[in-house]
């Protein structure tokens, strides 16, 4: 298909999205095609046409960030269209849409399911007070439930654990598959019984062969050492002398020592021909006997293992439901089950959310496909989702199968293809191919690189998507300092191809080049007002992507060394401070454990030398935290003093005893913060190389502990948490100043979906490998089937313990999916750049380079120049240290930093502060703040669409939530009813636009001081003449004769609101007033023309 045809089809697709509102669509939107713009355009068109109200719309996004962006752009577009609208009917619809935004839904699929379940918890079989867990908490609970399950089995004297041990399977080897199966509770785990293989075949074939081969070994160690086969035979002979090979598992352990290629060096054997023959016979035995036997043994073990794991998964599910703690998967499955099994609920929500929008569908959970088709299906009596067809215009899906990269999180491209076929039958499949992000040279590279990796147009299958050309609309920039297209950055050969060395070299070159570019040597082209303009490059123009997380922190450290700020996402770092704190926590948790005690003394916190430890031990005795007042247990001579050599140990032990006292007296988090402050860890980290990242990560550790209630309160739990963090290779790194300015973004590739940048580095050309599959989900079966292999780590490799029948064929099928997703990941990486893509390469060992699959397309691309830049010099002081002067300087700096740079105030406090001479009369009745809150909430709810029929129940619930005395609830309802019958409310109902409880924040400057002013306007509405009316509600109990006094007191407040409204929006405020709810009287205040107010911005 020619580009001209594609462009015409793209234009027609965009027209249909905004105009064909009674057709359901699946829109395949390529990278940078403006899919969010198209989605918003359809939502606006539905509002303006009157075909849908916002409160009956639901838009499901992939992330909370995407939801916030969509919500903001939708609101801005509504406001823009309202300003430009001339037709009265259209204005009314847009105004209503703005008021209904809180009633509609924009968020993730899990948040949407949570909303459905909270509205109908009983029908879903849930505790109405259920809590939603994030991924971290969900995984922690799964780990806890596994431990509890094993403990219960042991307490009940169940034989299952012993039975597995009798088969050579340790239950801890099953933890990984338990966690994996728990992710796929919607599939049937495939398992099939297999007979126990005949061990005699193994025994009768292997033992005679070993005996024969051992007789052929040389008597003495040959020159050059034993070769591989000789080593295996000598180990086998020693094994047989000490073990009974009549035991089946012992025999199996012996046999597996020959499960590898065993080479021979013929000159090291007495008879070279015999050596060669033995090598061939062992290879034949391995192929003909051992490998088939191991496959049969693993297939025999598989059903035993699965039958052990499945009850553990069910146990974890029941525990979650009992505790009212739902994982993301629970939310999705519970909501979908409720929609499938409760038709009356399905009808209700189908009416409640008449228009459903789904973004990033290629990476959503397959259960979501069932949920959305049930929710939008035309036939409410059909429970099978595959047979449902969406109502006309009810479903709008956006996705790009070329960017499906979350298979490890249950994303399934075969489900995407199934829904695509359904949408093609009852609606239409559209394609957006024009790219508004990248310049032409980047687009040309992407098209050339991926045409052969994706399927031909119209030929997609269940593993890979169609290729669709990316039609870029931006021309290549020209001019001095402008670079565009694709460059390579080739790393030199590293000794032994060590990945740490490769990453270090690449990180330094990337950091140097970014530093050079930001020093006025590179210009960035961008669009301003529809025209291309250029400017110098800034750090935030750069996006550094790594396929894996391991070295993200390294790139941030190198950037910092060259003075370039960075923000990281997805990194995993374990600095010395974290290791030391883990040991310190363990030491103080169990002072009798000498291992963490000695590690703490020898570590960076105290730095005690071996010489000092030896001297202390010889002079004083045992190193222990238990002792006398002087901190030592006393030596053989009764002395508890040590020599200058051993003094550091004595001082360190005294400090640790002080810390132990703090830990025993205070809550864990409080004690932890005090200890780190005493140790000076935060300034130490900040003053170290890569200080902002090290200190920021330490600060994040504080936040992590505070987020775990048990760890924050109990030192033992805090110790375990620190151990888990260290065992998981640390925390996600964070800069101390993250988010405070323009910075280079560094992240792993999966975090980059939806992001863009003028210059993108595909960095870190190492760490890749072609991993074997461990699970495969087949959703083409009914029901969906899950195939899981059970593996364990053995030295430096993964060993398969058990596998289902037919696993090699299934694993090969999964490998096709994995390779297809690898190519889609490369596509995501290659389409992030607006102007320049730079690909790091390591051609000396392509197997470890994650970008090596782009190599054919990279041939001929220019190499990035290797610029030379010096690191920023670290400040050094070699003179004498004046402690008093340093302390004085610190106090001055601290006082200066502690002085507030701005003040925070509310409009109410400012207005009342300026009207000190006015004092309101004493109220005639006091009902408390809760009364006013309930009335305000009720009026806001009615203003946003709550019907009168629902008002009674709303007031009852609000009164309970605000702890309002039940005697006042009826009075609050009567007060609201009186307002709804007033002339003022009739004006509100006729208003072109209206906002209730409008919250704002503005910067102001008064008396030469900066101030942040916060305010909440109870009611603001626009009338037909374009003038705005601002009303403040007052619930004070008052007599009518006191009205003037109350009005004089409150007038400055409402007039201040009007002044801020005018300054912030530029609108004309024609009237301000106070609505006294006790008497239901509306009092206009003085005109605001003379009210100057503070300078606002």
794 is in an annotated binding site: no
Q: Cβ atoms within 10 A of the Cβ of 229, count?
A: 23
Q: Among all chains, which residue has been given the structure tokens 């989702």?
A: 385
Give me the helix-helix angle, 929-943 and 948-961, nearest 10°. 150
89's enclosing H/E stretch is: helix 88-100
Specify which residues 60 forms β-bridges with.
107, 358
Class of domain 904-1096: alpha beta
- Identify which of 359-363, 692-696, 862-866 has the greatest average pLDDT: 862-866
Distances in Å between the alpha carbon of 232 and those of 203, 235, 273, 653, 857? Answer: 17, 5, 19, 51, 46
Region of residue 604 (left: phi > 0; alpha: psi -120 to 50; beta: else): alpha
Q: Which range, of 316-320, 636-640, 719-723, 783-787, averages the lowest pLDDT?
A: 636-640
Mean pLDDT throughout 807-818? 94
Task: Identify which has the larger pLDDT, 1035 or 674.
Answer: 674
Q: What is the mean pLDDT of the chain?
A: 89
* pTM reported for the whole predicted model: 0.80
3-state secondary structure of 749: helix
- The DSSP symbol for 752 reads G
Q: How far apart are CA 1058 and CA 1055, in angstroms?
A: 5
Give me the helix-helix angle, 691-706 and 668-679, nearest 10°. 160
Q: List the one residue out of 928, 558, 927 whose CA is nearest residue 746.
A: 558
392, with CB counted inside 10 A (0-12, 13-18, 19+), is middle
pLDDT at 886 over 50: yes
Mean pLDDT throughout 442-455? 95
Q: How far apart are CA 473 and CA 331, in angstroms?
A: 42
**Structure confidence by residue, pLDDT tens digits, 584-633:** 999 999 999 999 999 999 999 999 999 999 999 888 888 988 864 344 44
pLDDT at 976 over 60: yes
322, with CB counted inside 10 A (0-12, 13-18, 19+), is exposed
Q: What is the pLDDT of residue 400?
A: 92
35 is in an annotated binding site: yes
Q: Are 545 and 678 in contact (CB under 8 A)?
A: no
Distances in Å between the alpha carbon of 287 and those of 280, 344, 770, 967? Answer: 11, 61, 24, 86
Please tell me the chain's helix, strand, coil percentages from 3-state DSSP, rounded to the nearest 5: 50, 15, 30
Mean pLDDT throughout 94-119? 91
Q: How far apart are CA 609 and CA 126, in angstroms?
A: 59
**Structure confidence by residue, pLDDT tens digits, 420-433:** 999 999 999 999 99
Q: How far apart are CA 260 and CA 277, in angstroms?
A: 17
**Structure confidence by residue, pLDDT tens digits, 534-584:** 999 999 999 999 999 889 989 998 998 998 988 888 777 778 888 999 999
Residue 1096: band (very low, low, confident or very high) from pLDDT cuts 50, 70, 90:
very low
Q: What is the pLDDT of residue 881?
A: 74
pLDDT at 774 over 70: yes
3-state secondary structure of 107: strand
Distances in Å between the alpha carbon of 985 and those of 660, 867, 976, 1021? Answer: 66, 69, 11, 11
Q: Among all chains, which residue has been given the structure tokens 């099978």?
A: 384
Specify which residues 777 forms β-bridges with.
786
pLDDT at 961 over 70: yes
Give me the torsion for CA of 902, 908, 911, 916, rounded to 10°: -110
- Antiparallel, parallel or unpaired: β 1069-1076 and 1081-1084: antiparallel
Indicate if the alpha-carbon torsion angle 960, 966, 972, 973 is positive or negative: positive
Q: What is the pLDDT of residue 877?
A: 66
Q: Three-class SS string for 492-551?
A: CCCHHHCHHHHHHHHHHHHHHHHHHHHHHHCEEEEEECCEEEEEECCHHHEEEEECCCCC
Distance between first and last Cα of the chain: 53
Q: List the one residue out of 830, 33, 34, 747 whose CA is nearest residue 485.
A: 830
pLDDT at 1097 over 60: no
**Structure confidence by residue, pLDDT tens digits, 153-177:** 998 888 899 999 999 999 989 999 9
Reported residue count of the chain is: 1097
Q: How far apart are CA 1030 and CA 112, in angstroms?
A: 35
Residue 74: band (very low, low, confident or very high) from pLDDT cuts 50, 70, 90:
very high
pLDDT at 37 over 70: yes
- The DSSP symbol for 741 reads S
Residue 947: band (very low, low, confident or very high) from pLDDT cuts 50, 70, 90:
confident
**Structure confidence by residue, pLDDT tens digits, 476-505:** 999 898 999 999 999 999 999 999 999 999
pLDDT at 311 over 50: yes
3-state secondary structure of 447: helix
Give me the torsion for CA of 1058, 987, 941, 1046, rounded to 10°: 50
267 is in an annotated binding site: no
Class of domain 3-130+328-432: alpha beta
Q: List the one residue out of 1082, 1055, 1069 whose CA is nearest residue 910.
A: 1055
Q: Per the structure block, which two tokens stand in for 278?
A: 């033995």
Q: How far apart are CA 997 and CA 957, in angstroms?
A: 19
879 is in an annotated binding site: no
Q: Are 647 and 606 in contact (CB under 8 A)?
A: no
Percent of the chain with pLDDT over 90: 63
Residue 872: band (very low, low, confident or very high) from pLDDT cuts 50, 70, 90:
confident
459 is in an annotated binding site: no
Q: What is the pLDDT of residue 689?
A: 76
As its CATH architecture, domain 576-727 has Orthogonal Bundle (1.10)
- Residue 276: φ, ψ to 5°: -65, -40
Q: How far apart are CA 465 and CA 461, in angstroms?
A: 7
567's enclosing H/E stretch is: strand 566-569
Which residues are CB-neighbours of 824 under 8 A, at least 6 positions away?
402, 403, 404, 405, 464, 465
Q: Which range, of 715-719, 726-730, 819-823, averages the lowest pLDDT?
A: 726-730
Mean pLDDT throughout 1038-1042? 79
Residue 317: band (very low, low, confident or very high) from pLDDT cuts 50, 70, 90:
very high
pLDDT at 316 over 80: yes
Q: List the one residue out of 533, 511, 570 whose CA is nearest residue 743.
A: 511
Q: List the one residue out of 718, 701, 700 whose CA is nearest residue 589.
A: 718
Percent of the chain with pLDDT over 70: 94
32 is in an annotated binding site: yes
Q: Helices (H) and strands (E) in the chain — how many of each?
A: 39, 30
Which residues are CB-neighbours of 510 under 8 A, at least 6 positions away?
489, 544, 555, 558, 559, 761, 763, 840
Q: How far apart are CA 640 and CA 591, in angstroms?
A: 19
Q: Are 711 and 718 in contact (CB under 8 A)?
A: yes
163 is in an annotated binding site: no
Q: How far apart are CA 1097 and CA 737, in angstroms?
A: 26
1096's enclosing H/E stretch is: strand 1095-1096
Q: What is the pLDDT of residue 1070?
A: 92
Among the residues of 835-928, which ranges form H helices? 855-858, 883-898, 907-913
Q: Are 1084 and 1071 in contact (CB under 8 A)?
A: yes
Cis omega before residue 511 (within 30°)? no
Distances in Å between the alpha carbon of 759 and those of 162, 538, 833, 854? Answer: 58, 10, 6, 18
494 is in an annotated binding site: no
Superfamily designation of domain 485-572+742-787+819-858:
P-loop containing nucleotide triphosphate hydrolases (3.40.50.300)
pLDDT at 634 over 50: no
Residue 1092: band (very low, low, confident or very high) from pLDDT cuts 50, 70, 90:
very low
Mean pLDDT throughout 857-872? 90
Mean pLDDT throughout 642-650? 86
Q: How far apart are CA 142 and CA 743, in angstroms?
A: 37
Residue 962: band (very low, low, confident or very high) from pLDDT cuts 50, 70, 90:
confident
């Amino acid at each position: 298909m020619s580009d001209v045809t594609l462009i015409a089809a793209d234009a027609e697709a965009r027209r249909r999205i905004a105009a064909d509102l009674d057709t359901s669509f699946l829109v395949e939107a390529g990278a940078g095609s403006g899919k969010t713009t198209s989605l918003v355009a359809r939502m606006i068109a539905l509002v303006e046409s009157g075909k849908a109200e916002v409160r009956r719309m639901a838009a499901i996004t992939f992330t909370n960030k995407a939801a916030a962006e969509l919500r903001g752009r939708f609101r801005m577009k509504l406001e823009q269209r309202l300003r430009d609208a001339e037709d009265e009917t259209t204005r009314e619809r847009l105004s209503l849409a703005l008021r209904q935004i809180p009633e509609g839904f924009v968020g993730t699929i899990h948040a949407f399911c949570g909303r459905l379940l909270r509205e109908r918890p009983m029908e879903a079989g849930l505790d109405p007070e259920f809590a939603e867990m994030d991924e971290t908490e969900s995984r922690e609970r799964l780990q806890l439930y596994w431990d509890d399950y094993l403990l219960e089995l042991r307490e009940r004297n169940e034989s299952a654990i012993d039975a597995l041990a009798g088969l050579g399977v340790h239950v801890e080897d099953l933890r990984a598959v338990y966690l994996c199966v728990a992710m796929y509770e919607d599939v049937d785990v495939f398992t099939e019984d297999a007979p126990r293989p005949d061990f005699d075949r193994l025994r009768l074939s292997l033992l005679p062969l070993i005996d024969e081969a051992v007789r052929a070994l040389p008597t003495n160690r040959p020159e050059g050492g034993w070769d591989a086969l000789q080593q295996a035979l000598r180990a086998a002979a020693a094994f047989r002398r000490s073990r009974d090979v009549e035991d089946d598992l012992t025999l199996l352990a012996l046999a597996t020592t020959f499960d590898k290629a065993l080479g021979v060096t013929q000159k090291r054997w007495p008879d070279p021909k015999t050596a060669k023959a033995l090598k061939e016979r062992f290879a034949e035995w391995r192929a003909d006997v051992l490998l088939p036997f191991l496959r049969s043994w693993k297939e025999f073990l598989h059903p035993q293992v699965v039958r052990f794991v499945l009850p553990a998964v069910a146990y974890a599910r029941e525990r979650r439901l009992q505790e009212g703690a739902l994982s993301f998967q629970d939310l999705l499955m519970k909501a979908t089950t409720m929609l499938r099994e409760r038709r009356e609920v399905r009808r209700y929500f189908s009416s409640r959310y008449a228009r459903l929008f789904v973004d990033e569908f290629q990476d959503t959970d397959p259960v979501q496909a069932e949920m959305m088709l049930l929710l939008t299906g035309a036939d409410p009596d059909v429970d099978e989702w595959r047979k449902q067809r969406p109502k006309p215009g009810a479903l709008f899906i956006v996705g790009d199968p070329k960017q499906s990269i979350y298979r490890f999180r249950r994303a399934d491209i075969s489900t995407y293809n199934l829904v695509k076929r359904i949408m093609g039958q009852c609606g239409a499949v559209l394609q957006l191919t024009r790219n508004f992000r990248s310049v032409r040279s980047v687009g040309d590279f992407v098209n050339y690189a991926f045409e052969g990796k994706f399927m031909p147009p119209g030929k997609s299958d269940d593993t890979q998507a169609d290729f669709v050309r990316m039609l870029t609309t931006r021309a290549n920039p020209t001019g001095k300092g402008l670079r565009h297209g694709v460059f390579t950055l080739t790393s030199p050969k590293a000794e032994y191809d060590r990945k740490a060395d490769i990453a270090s070299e690449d990180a330094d070159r990337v950091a140097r080049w970014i530093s050079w570019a930001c020093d006025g040597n590179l210009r960035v082209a961008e669009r301003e007002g529809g025209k291309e303009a250029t400017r110098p490059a800034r750090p935030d123009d750069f996006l550094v992507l790594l396929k894996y997380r391991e070295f993200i922190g390294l790139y941030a450290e190198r950037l910092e060394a060259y003075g370039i700020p960075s923000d990281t996402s997805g990194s995993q770092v374990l600095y010395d401070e974290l290791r030391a704190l883990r040991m310190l926590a363990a030491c103080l948790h169990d002072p009798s454990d000498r291992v963490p005690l000695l590690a703490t003394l020898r570590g960076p916190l105290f730095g005690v030398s071996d010489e000092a430890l030896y001297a202390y031990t010889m002079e004083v005795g045992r190193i222990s935290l238990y002792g006398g007042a002087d901190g030592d247990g006393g030596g053989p001579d009764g002395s508890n003093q040590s020599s200058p050599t051993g003094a550091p140990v004595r001082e360190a032990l005294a400090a640790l005893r002080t810390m132990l006292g703090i830990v025993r007296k205070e809550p864990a988090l409080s004690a932890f913060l005090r200890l780190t402050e005493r140790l000076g860890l935060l300034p130490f980290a900040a003053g170290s190389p890569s200080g902002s990242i090290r200190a920021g990560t330490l600060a994040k550790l504080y936040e992590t502990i505070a987020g775990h209630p048990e760890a924050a309160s109990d030192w033992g739990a805090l110790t375990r948490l620190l151990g888990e963090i260290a065992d998981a290779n640390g925390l996600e790194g964070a800069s101390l100043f993250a988010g405070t300015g323009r910075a280079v973004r560094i992240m792993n590739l999966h975090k980059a979906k939806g992001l863009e940048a003028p210059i993108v580095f595909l960095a870190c050309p190492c760490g890749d490998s072609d991993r074997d599959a461990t699970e495969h989900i087949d959703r083409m079966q009914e029901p969906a089937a899950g195939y899981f292999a059970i593996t364990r780590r053995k030295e430096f490799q993964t060993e398969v313990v058990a596998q289902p029948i037919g696993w090699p064929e299934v694993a090969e099928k999964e490998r096709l999916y994995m390779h297809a997703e690898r190519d889609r990941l490369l596509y995501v990486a290659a389409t992030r750049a607006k102007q320049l893509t730079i690909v790091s390469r390591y051609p000396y060992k392509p197997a470890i380079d994650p970008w090596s699959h782009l190599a054919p397309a990279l041939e001929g691309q220019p190499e990035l120049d290797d610029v030379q830049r010096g690191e920023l010099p670290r400040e050094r002081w070699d003179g004498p240290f004046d402690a008093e002067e340093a302390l004085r300087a610190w106090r001055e700096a601290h006082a200066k930093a502690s002085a507030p740079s701005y003040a925070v105030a509310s409009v109410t406090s400012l207005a009342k502060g300026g009207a000190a001479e006015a004092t309101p009369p004493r109220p005639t009745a006091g009902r408390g703040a809760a009364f006013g809150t309930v009335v305000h909430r009720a009026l806001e709810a009615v203003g946003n669409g709550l019907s009168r029929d629902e008002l009674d129940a709303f007031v009852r619930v609000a009164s309970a939530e605000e702890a309002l005395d039940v005697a006042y609830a009826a009075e609050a309802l009567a007060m609201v009813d009186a307002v709804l019958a007033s002339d003022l409310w009739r004006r509100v109902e006729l208003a072109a636009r209206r906002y209730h409880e409008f919250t704002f924040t503005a910067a102001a400057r008064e008396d030469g001081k900066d101030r942040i002013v916060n305010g909440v306007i109870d009611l603001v509405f626009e009338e037909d003449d374009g003038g705005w009316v601002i009303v403040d509600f007052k619930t004070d109990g008052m007599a009518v004769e006191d009205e003037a006094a109350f009005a004089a007191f409150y007038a400055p407040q409402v007039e201040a609101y009007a002044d801020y409204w005018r300054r912030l929006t530029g609108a004309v405020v024609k009237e301000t007033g106070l609505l006294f709810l006790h008497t239901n009287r509306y009092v206009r205040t003085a005109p605001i023309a003379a009210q100057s107010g503070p300078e606002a911005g």
